[in-house]
């Protein structure tokens, strides 16, 4: 008999991404930040994206992720479209 542990994780996928690109010093005036966890301060991973390169899929380490959108009042771009879903992962329990 095999026993498995089942865990739900959040999967975030970007389908369109067009924000103001970073300055030469890497400053982003418009950006999307994804936190692996429920807060910016306690996240195990924090990733920030700007510009027009579509971010890769993001799979959180648990069933919680936080998406933050920052923007200023200059330069309008088309923005972004993202979806989220639950991904079920199974792993065998070993003794």
pLDDT single digits (tens) 66-83:
999 999 988 999 999 999
Question: Which of the four pLDDT bands, split at 50, 70 and 90, describes residue 95?
Answer: low
Residue of 43, 13, 52, 47 whose CA lies nearest to 33: 47
The pTM for the full model equals 0.85
Classify the phi-psi angles of 41: left when phi > 0, otherwise alpha if psi is within -120 to 50, otherwise beta.
Answer: alpha
92 pLDDT tier (thresholds 50, 70, 90): confident
Output the pLDDT for position 24: 85
CB neighbourhood size of 37 (10 A): 17
pLDDT 10s digits, 1-58: 678 888 999 999 999 999 999 988 888 999 999 999 999 898 999 999 999 999 999 9
Measured CA angle at 41 (ends 39, 47), to 5 deg: 75
Domains of the chain by range and CATH? Answer: 4-92 (2.60.120.290)
48-70 pLDDT, tens digit per residue, is 999 999 999 999 999 999 999 99
């Amino acid at each position: 008999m095999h026993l498995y542990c089942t865990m739900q994780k959040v999967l975030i996928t970007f389908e369109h991404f067009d924000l103001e690109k970073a300055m030469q010093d890497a400053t982003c005036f418009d950006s999307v930040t994804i936190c692996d966890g429920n807060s910016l301060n306690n996240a195990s991973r924090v990733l920030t994206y700007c510009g027009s390169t579509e971010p890769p899929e993001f799979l959180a380490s648990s069933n919680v992720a936080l998406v933050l959108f920052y923007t200023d009042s200059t330069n309008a771009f088309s923005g972004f479209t993202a979806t989220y879903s639950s991904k079920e992962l199974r792993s065998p329990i070993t003794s």
